[in-house]
Amino acid sequence: MLKLEKRPQPSKAWVWLAPVVAVIATMIAGGALFALLGKDPLVAIRTIFWDPLFSEFAFFYRPQLLVKGAPLILIAIGLSLGFRAGIWNIGAEGQYIVGALTGAGVGLMFYPMEGWFIFPLMVMAGALGGWAWATIPAVLKVKFGTNEILVSLMLVYVAEQLLASMSLGLMKNPEGFGFPGSRNLQQYPSAHNAELIAGSGMHWGVVAALIAVIFAYVMLTRHILGFHIRLTGEAPRAARFAGVNPARLVLICLGLAGALAGLAGMFEVSGPAGRVSIDFNVGYGFTAIIVAFLGRLHPLGIALAGLLMALTYIGGEIAQSRLGLPAAAIQMFQGMLLFFLLAVDVMTNYRLRLTWREVA
Amino acid sequence: MKLSKLLTTAAFALGLATGAMAQDKLKVGFVYVGPVGDGGWTYEHDKGRQAVEAEFGDKVETVFVESVPEGPDAERVMTQMALDGAKLIFTTSFGFMDPTINVAAKFPDVKFEHATGYKRADNVSTYSARFYEGRAIQGHIAGKMTESNIVGYIGSYPIPEVIRGINSAFIHARKVNPDVQFKIVWAYTWFDPAKEADAAKVLIEQGADVILQHTDSTAPLAAAAEAGNIIGFGQASDMSEYADGPRVSSIIDNWAPYYIARVKAVMDGTWTSTDTWDGIGPGMVGIGEITDKVPADVKAEALALKDAIAKGDYHPFTGPLNKQDGSVWLADGEVADDGTLLGMDFYVEGIEGTIPN
Amino acid sequence: MDLSSINPILLLASLMVAATPLLLAAVGELVVEKAGVLNLGVEGMMITGAICGFAIAVNTGNPLLGVLAAAAGGAVLSLLFALLTQVALANQVASGLGLTLFGLGLSSLIGQGYQGIRPPSFPRLNIPGLSDMPVLGRILFSHDLMVYLGLIIVTAVWFMLKYTRAGLILRAVGENHEAAHALGYKVVRIRIMAILFGGACAGMGGAYISLIRVPQWTEGMTAGIGWIALALVVFASWKPWRVLLGAYLFGGVTVIQLNLQAAGVAIPVEYLAMSPYLITILVLVIMSADKSSAPASLGRVFHASR
C-alpha cells in the first residue's frame, strides 16, 4: 500500500518540478478532453500555449498577456499576503469594482477639465475605495468575530448592484443617448491610463503589478511584517508569543489586499476597459484566488502564474475561434490545471512510501 | 510615440495581408457576449450564424467566440479574428461598441457590424431590431385577454430598450382596455432564471393574469403554467414547448435574414456602412404563432395589427401620446422619431411607478 | 403603493419553494463542514447536478430518476474534491474554487443540445385532507415532493448529529481530527463520505432548479445560489434548524423585495436588490456572538503521521 510520509523539510526539487509536472499532466488530460470533443489534441494544445507566444501574430498577443495578466497579478499579490496569514478574503471582485467606481468617479467629476493631477488623484481614490470595501469585513471580524470569507463574498454582490446602479444613474454618460455606462475615459486624456509605449501593452497597471511583486517579495523576506504574516499562518500560537497583534494583522492584510484590488479596478476602468458599465467586472477577483494558489502564494510564483493564466485565456480564445472549441472546454482546462498543481504539490511536503500498514 | 504607432499599424497591415492570402473563402467572425447555450440572446445570434453557413456553404467560413467579456477581452477577440483573416465581424452586444470602433480603426479593410449600438464608422455598421413592434401586438392581446386587468411585466435593467417595450405594450393594452394596469418588476440581472421564476410568481400572486417578460428564460412561463389560467409570451425564441400551456404567442429574434444579406453584400463588394433598425416587415422581429387560446376575433385583430406594422401603415408610437407626467409627447397623428425612441427614458401616461434612477 | 395586494399566504407558500434549493445545498455543506472540511465548490456541484438531473429526466421521462442522477452527479464531482483534499492533502479553499470552475465548464459541455426542451413535470404531492385545509393547506401541504425531501433531510441530519453514534463520530472528526484518529476512527474515510453526501445534496439542489423551479436547462443557471448556500451554513452556526430558518429568511428577503416592487413601494430598486446580501451580513454579525459550534478543525489538513 502506498503511504504518504511527511518530509522533514519541503523538497527543493519538487518546488520547481511540481508546476512543470502539473502543466504536462494538464496538457495530457486536456488533450484527452479535446480529443473527446473531436479536435486534434496536439493542434489544440499548440494553439493555446504556443501560438500566442510564437506564431506570426505574437507581436499582438505578447502585449496582451500583460494587459490580461496585470490585474490578476496585482490582486493575487494582495490576496496572498492574507492567505499566508490564514485570512481569507474571497471578495476581491467587490473591492475591484468599488476601486474602479471611486477611481472613475473622481475622474468623471473633473470632466472636462484637463490637469496633470487628475490621474494621480484617481489612483489614490481607487486604492482608497478598494481599501474601504475590504475594511468592512476586516472591522467586522476584529470587532465581532464575523467570518471574513462570507462577509467579503456578500459584499461582492452588493458591489455588483452598486455598479449597475452607477452605470444606470449617477455615472451614466449624459451624451450616451440614454444607454447605460459612463463616458469613455480613453477619450479623456487627463484620466486615461494609456499605454506607456504604444503597442507594448505596458500601462500603469502593469507597472503597479511589477512594483507589487517586488514589494511583496522584499516584505516577506526582509521585513518584520512579512515575518509576522508567515508566522501567523504557520504557527498562530507562536505568533502570539512573538507579539503579533492578530487584529492589526487582519486589518493590514485585508486592507492591503483591498487597496491592490481597488487599484487593479481603477487601472482597468481608466485604461483597457475605458468605461464603467453594468458588466464591467469580468471575474478577475475570483480568478486571482486561483492565481495566488497556482503561484503558491509566492510573489514570483504569482507573477508567473498570472501570466500562465492569461496565456490560457488568450490561447483559449484563439482555440475557440480557430478550432471551434467551446468556451466551457477552456474553463474545464483551467480547472484541471489548478487540480493537477494542487495534487502534485503534495510531493513538495510529503513523499510516497510503500508500506503494508493500512492508511487511516 | 508617433513612429512606434506607425510601426504597429504597419505590422497590423502586414499581418492582415498574410492572413488574407491564405484565404479563398469569406471568413466571417461572430463575437458573443454569452454562451451559445443561453437559450436566448446569444443562442439566437448563433442560429443566425448557422443560417449563414447553410446559405453559402463552401463559400463562407464562420468562426465565433462565446462568453466574451465586454472591454479589452472583446477588443482582443475582434483583433484576433481580423488577424486570422476574417473580412466581416459581427459584434453582438451593446457593450462591444467602443471595442468595435477601436479595432475597426486598425483594420480599415475589415467590415464590422455592431448590434444595438449608436457609433458608426466607414467600416462599422450598426443594426438592431424594433422589438417594440412585437410588444405592441403583445400589448393588444394582453389588454383584450386580461380579466383581472393587471398585466405583470418583468424587466431586466431599466435601459431604453426595455422601457420602450413597456411603453409600447402599455399603449396598445390601454387602447383596447382602458382599465388595464401594469405591474412592473425589475430583476436587476440579465440572467438569473430562478429570480425570473420568483418575479413571475410574485406578479401572479398580486393578481396579474398576463405575464410579459423582457428576460430570456422560460422560467416565467413555467411559473404561469403552474399557476394555471395565466397567459404569457415567448421571448427571444419561440418557446413553443409551452404552446399547449400559457404561451399564446412570442417575439422571436431572427437575425438570419440580415446576416445573410450582409455577408452577401461583402461577397458582392456592395457593402457600405449603414444603420439598420428593422422590425416585423423585413423579418428581423418574428411573431410566433398565436395559439387557439386567443379568441378568434382577438387573433384576427392582432394579425391585422401585425400586417399594418409590417407594411409600414402603422407606427406603434403614434400620437396623441402624453408622457407619464401628463405633458404632451406626441400630437395627434405625430409619429415618434427614432432618436427619442432609442434613448427613451420615460414612461407614457397611465403607467404607475417610477423608473429606477 | 398598494401593500394589500401582497397575499401573505401565497408569500409564505412561495417562500418554501424559493428556499428549497438553498436548503438542500446548505444542509449538505453543513455535514461536510461538521466533518471539518470546507468545500467552496457548492456552485460547481449544484450546476453539475442540475444538468445531470435534467438530462436523465428528459431521456428517461422520469423526473425522480433525474433527481437520483443529480445526486449521483454532484457526488461524483465532489469525489474529485475528496481525492484532492483528503488523499493529496491539497488546500481546501483552492480545491473548492477549482471545483466550481470545473463544474461550470463540465455542465455546459454535458448540456449542449438540451436547450429549449421542457422536462417532464414533477409530481405534486396532494395529501387528501391536509392540502384542502384553509391557510395551512396552501402554505404547507401543496408542494412538490422535493420540498418535503429537503425538510426530511434537514430533520435527519439534525437527528443524526444530535442523537446517533455516527453523528458523534462525525463531530469528533470535525472538532479534533488528531484525537479522533487516536481513538481509532478512520478520519479520511469519514470525511470522504461527508463530502460525497454534501455533493449529492448540492446536486439535488441544482436539479430542483433545472427540473422544478425554472424548469429548463441553460448554462450557468444556478447563478450564484451555491455561494449563498455557503454563507447560510455559517449564518446558521452549523445548526441544521438554523439552516432551515436561514434558507427561508434569504429566500424570503428576495421574494419580499420583488413583492414590494410589484406593489409599487418607492424604494430604489437597486437597494432592494442589494438587501438580501446586506441582511445576510447583518445577521452574520448578530449570529457571530455564538461561536460555540464552529468545528475546530474546519479547513485544516489532516495527515495521519503514524
CB contact (8 A) between residue C94 and residue A289: yes
Interface with C, mutate which of B205, B218, B230, B253 (most C CBs under 10 A): B205
Question: How many domains does chain A contain in total?
Answer: 1
Query: B10: how many CB neighbours lie within 10 A of its CB?
Result: 10
Q: Which residues of A touch B343 (CB under 8 A)?
A: 177-179
The C-alpha cell that represents C181 in the structure block: 484518529
Closest CA relative to residue C95, chosen from A209, A289, B210, B25: A289
The residues, ordered by sequence, that sit 6+ positions from C185 with a Cβ below 8 Å of its Cβ are C169, C172, C173
* Triad A104, A105, A108: Cα angle to 5°: 85
Euclidean distance between CA atoms C140 and C80, whole angstroms: 38
C-alpha span between B351 and B184 (Å, rounded): 9
List, for residues A112-170, the tens digit of each pLDDT value: 888 899 999 999 999 999 999 999 999 999 988 888 887 898 899 899 999 999 998 88
User: What is the number of alpha carbons within 13 Å of residue B213 lying toward its C-beta?
Assistant: 38
**Cis peptide leading into residue B320 (ω within 30°):** yes
- List the pLDDT tens digit at each of the 306 positions of chain C: 566 777 778 888 888 888 899 999 999 999 999 999 999 999 999 999 999 999 999 999 999 999 999 999 999 999 999 999 998 888 888 899 889 989 999 998 998 888 878 888 887 766 666 666 766 776 777 788 888 999 999 999 999 999 999 999 999 998 888 888 988 889 999 999 999 999 999 999 999 999 988 888 888 888 888 988 988 887 788 889 989 988 888 888 888 888 888 888 777 777 877 887 888 788 778 877 665 556 777 777 777 654
Q: Please tell me the predicted confidence (pLDDT) of residue B12.
A: 53
| Cross-chain CB nearest to B66 (options A165, A272, A320) | A320
User: Helix and strand tally (H, E) in chain C?
Assistant: 12, 0
Decide the pairing of beta strands B88-91 and B111-115: parallel
C106 neighbourhood in chain B, CB within 8 Å: none
Angle, alpha carbons A126-A128-A132 (nearest 5°): 120
Last residue of a domain, one of B78, B97, B129: B129
First to last CA, chain A: 12
Mean pLDDT for back-to-back runs of 10 residues, chain A (360 residues): 75 82 91 92 92 90 93 96 88 96 95 90 96 96 85 90 90 84 89 85 91 93 86 81 86 95 96 90 89 90 94 93 91 89 83 62
B89 and B195 both lie in a single domain: no
Which residue blocks in B155-234 are alpha helix, DSSP H? 160-176, 193-205, 219-227
Map grid coordinates 480599415 to a residue.
B108
Residue A245 has phi, psi (to 5 degrees) of -90, 105
Residues of C in contact with A339 (CB under 8 A): 80, 84, 95, 98, 102
- The C-alpha cell that represents A185 in the structure block: 475615459
- Give residue ranges of C with CB < 8 Å to any B CB: 5-7, 10-11, 14, 18, 21, 108, 111-112, 115-118, 209, 213-225, 254-255, 258-259, 261-264, 266, 268-270, 273
Q: Are C48 and C106 in contact (CB under 8 A)?
A: yes
A156-171 in b/e form (b: 16+ CB < 10 A) is bbbbbbbbbbbbbeeb
CA distance B69 to B58: 31
Residues B326 and B197 in one domain: yes
User: For A7, which DSSP code?
Assistant: -
Domain that holds residue C153: 17-223
Among B33, B192, B195, B206, most C C-beta atoms within 10 A, so best to mutate, is B206
Residue C235 placed within a domain:
no
> Do B247 and B321 lie in a common domain?
yes
- Count of domains in chain B? 2
Per the structure, the complete domain to which residue B212 belongs is given by 131-252+285-342
- For residue B20, what pLDDT band results from cuts at 50, 70 and 90? very low
> Which of B111, B129, B147 finishes a domain?
B129
For residues A279 and A97, what is the distance between their CA atoms, to the nearest angstrom?
10
Distance between CA atoms of C10 and C15, rounded to whole angstroms? 8
- In angstroms, the separation between the Cα of residue C125 and the nearest Cα of chain A is 35
Q: Is residue B14 a part of any domain in this protein?
A: yes
How close B337 gets to chain C, by Cα (Å)?
A: 30
Query: Distance, in angstroms, between B226 CA and closest chain A CA?
Result: 30
Interface contact C231-A334, CB threshold 8 A: no
Kindly state whether residue A347 falls inside one of the protein's structural domains.
no
Same domain membership, residue B135 and residue B96:
no
Please check whether residues B118 and B148 belong to one and the same domain.
no
Instruction: Supply the DSSP string of C17-68, one letter for each residue.
Output: HHHHHHHHHHHHHHHHHHTT-----HHHHHHHHHHHHHHHHHHHS-HHHHHH
Rounded Cα distance, A213 and C106, in Å: 34
Tell me whether residue A236 is in a domain. Answer: yes
* A334 found inside a domain: no
Closest by CA position to A203, among listed A121, A135, A270:
A270
H-assigned helices in chain B: 2-21, 41-56, 72-83, 97-106, 131-145, 160-176, 193-205, 219-227, 256-268, 296-311, 338-342
What's the one-letter identity of residue A17?
Answer: L
Task: Indicate if B96 and B209 belong to the same structural domain.
Answer: no
Residue C153 lies in a domain: yes
Higher-pLDDT residue of B98 and C302 is: B98
CATH of the domain at A297: 1.10.3470
Would residue C74 count as lying in a domain? yes
Q: Which of C46, C71, C74, C23 is nearest to C240 (CA)?
A: C23
**Which one of A61, A166, A185, A279 makes the best mutation probe of the B interface by having the most chain B beta carbons within 10 Å?**
A279
Interface test with C, best of B148, B190, B196, B202 (most C CBs within 10 A): B202
Whether residue B317 lies inside any domain: the answer is yes
Q: What is the pLDDT of residue B21?
A: 45
Cell of B322: 402624453
What are the percentages of helix, strand and coil residues in chain B, rounded to 5?
A: 45, 20, 35
Mean pLDDT of B90-99: 93
Q: Which residues are CB-neighbours of A192 under 8 A, at least 6 positions away?
A: A119, A185, A186, A270, A271
Q: Does a structural domain hold residue A7?
A: no
Looking at chain C, which subunits does it touch, using at least 3 CB pairs closer than 8 Å as the criterion?
A, B
Q: Is residue A9 a part of any domain in this protein?
A: no
Whether residue B158 is preceded by a cis peptide bond, meaning omega within 30 degrees of 0, is no
ipTM value: 0.88
Chain B residues in contact with A197 by the CB 8 A cut-off are: 4
- Position C89 in a domain: yes
Grid cell 449563414 is found at B52
Q: Do B29 and A57 touch (CB under 8 A)?
A: no
The pLDDT score that the predictor gives to residue C289 is 67
Is A168 within 8 Å of chain B by CB?
A: yes
A58 CA to centre of own chain: 24
Asked if the structure places residue C171 within a domain, the reply is yes
Interchain pair B68, A317: CB under 8 A: yes
Same domain for B220 and B315? yes
Phi/psi class of residue B326: alpha, beta or left (left: φ > 0; alpha: ψ in -120 to 50)? left
| B28 → chain A, closest CA residue | A321
- Whether residue C255 is contained in a domain is answered as no
The reply to whether B178 and B292 lie within a common domain is yes
CB spacing of B160 vs A178 below 8 angstroms: yes
CA–CA dist C54, C65 (Å, integer): 10
List, for residues A236-258, the tens digit of each pLDDT value. Answer: 788 888 888 889 999 999 999 99
Domain that holds residue A189: 38-325
Whether residue B274 is contained in a domain is answered as: no
Tell me the CATH number at B111: 3.40.50.2300
Q: Is residue A13 part of a domain?
A: no
Candidates B125, B37, A134; CA nearest to C107 is B37
DSSP per residue, B301-313? HHHHHHHHHHHTS
CB C115 to CB B37 under 8 A? yes
- Across the beta sheet with B285-288, the strand order is B181-186, B150-155, B210-213, B231-236, B247-253, B285-288
Q: Please count the helices (runs of H) and the strands (runs of E) in chain B.
A: 11, 14
Inside any domain, residue C242: no
Number of domains chain C contains: 1
Number of Cβ pairs closer than 8 Å across A and C? Answer: 146
SS3 content of chain A, % helix, strand, coil (to 5): 70, 5, 25
Neighbours of C162 (CB within 10 A): 12
> What does the buried/exposed string (b/e) look like for A104-122 if buried means 16 or more CB atoms within 10 Å of the residue's CB?
bbbbbebeeeeeeebbebb
Q: What is the mean pLDDT of residues B97-113?
A: 95
The last residue of one of the domains, among B129, B160, B190, is B129
SS3 call for B330:
strand
Q: Do B321 and B223 have their domain in common?
A: yes
Under the phi-then-psi rule, with left for phi > 0, alpha for psi from -120 to 50, and beta for the rest, what region is B101?
alpha
Q: CB neighbours of C177 closer than 8 A, spacing ≥ 6?
A: C36, C187, C297, C300, C302
* Cell 455592431 -> residue: B114
- Is there a single domain that holds both residue B214 and residue B231? yes
Specify if A292 maps to a domain.
Answer: yes
B92 domain residue, yes or no? yes
* Distance from C-alpha of C285 to C-alpha of C118, rounded to nearest angstrom: 42
d(CA C46, CA A146): 26
Question: Which cell numbers hold the place of A196?
Answer: 506607456
Neighbours of B21 (CB within 10 A): 9
Q: Is residue A18 part of a domain?
A: no
* Cβ-Cβ contacts under 8 Å, A336 against chain C: 102
Can you give the pLDDT at residue A90?
86
User: What residues of C are in contact with residue B219 (Cβ under 8 Å)?
Assistant: 213-214, 216
pLDDT score for A246: 86
